[in-house]
Amino acid sequence: MRLRAILAALLFTGACQGASEEPGTLYGEPLTLDEVTPVSAILDDPDGYLGQRVLVEGMVVAVCEMRGCWMDIAGDREFEKIQIKVDDGVIVFPMTAQGKTALVEGVVEVLELTYEEALEAARHRAEEHGEEFDPTTVTGPETTYRIRGHGAVITD
């Protein structure tokens, strides 16, 4: 009886691990769109896509270390990426997703930060990455376009 209980607990632990690490893992809502919008198209005309539901694809190049509440995916052009932001705790991206491919569906939104807010955001980012904060990197108010993620499939 006792052995059975221990085995059940171990199996449960294994199931939890599988749920977060399997290739092709779904996070959040199932994807509904078929056509992938290139990240470059969104970045070229962000206002044109504002409020639109899009499906984007790219390699995961950064993940929120603390809460898994955002990830950056690489664009189809050099030096470009876009942030996928999800509500804290609703979707949690694992740090181990870095380098994997993500297919993400969400709505394009704009984040307008005052200088003080941009400063605070940069300080938070530096803290998260364990880096020294350099306030001179923030020069004024910032406008960032990102995707409010509703669902994502991450594959190896």
Partner 1 sequence: MGRRAARWRRWNRAIHRDLGYVCVGLTLVYAVSGVAVNHIRDWNPNYRVTVDTFPVPEASRSAVTDSAFPLAVLRAAGLDGPVRGTFRPDSATLEVFLPALTVRVDLDAQVATLARVQERPLLRRANLLHLNEPRGFWTYIADVFALALILLAVTGLFMMKGKYGITGRGAWLTGLGILLPVVILLVLA
Q: Which is nearer to partner 1, 21 or 116 (CB)?
A: 21
**Which residue carries 């996928």 as its tokens?**
84
At position 142, the amino acid (one-letter code) is E
Residue 150 within binding range of partner 1, rule CB under 8 A: no
CB of 110 to partner 1, least distance (A): 21
Kindly write down the DSSP assignment for every residue of 98-115, as one continuous string.
Answer: TTSEEEEEEEEEEEEE-H
Q: What is the distance between the alpha carbons of residues 104 and 74, in angstroms, rounded to a whole number?
A: 12
Size of the site for partner 1 (CB under 8 A): 24
Pairing of strands 101-113, 53-63: antiparallel
Q: How far is the CB of 52 from partner 1 (least distance, A)?
A: 25
Range 6-43 burial, b when 16+ CB lie within 10 A, else e: eeeeeeeeeeeeeeeeeeebebbeeeeeeebbbbebbb
Q: Which of 56, 69, 74, 118 binds partner 1 (CB under 8 A)?
A: 74
User: Applying CB under 8 A, which of residues 30, 79, 132, 140 lies at the interface with partner 1?
Assistant: 79
Q: Which of 2, 34, 35, 130 binds partner 1 (CB under 8 A)?
A: 130
CA 140 to chain CA centroid, Å, is 25
Specify the stretch interacting with partner 1 by CB under 8 A; choose among 49-57, 60-68, 114-122, 137-145.
60-68
* Residue 100 interacting with partner 1 (CB under 8 A): yes
Residue pair 86/125 in contact (Cβ under 8 Å)? The answer is no
7 binds partner 1 (CB under 8 A): no
Judged by beta carbon, residue 34 or residue 132, the one nearer partner 1 is 132
Cβ-based neighbours of 99, under 8 Å, separated by 6 or more: 59, 60, 61
* Minimum distance of partner 1 from residue 65's CB (angstroms): 6
Interface with partner 1 (CB under 8 A): 13, 16-17, 19-20, 59, 61, 65-68, 74, 78-79, 81, 89, 92, 95-96, 98-100, 130, 156
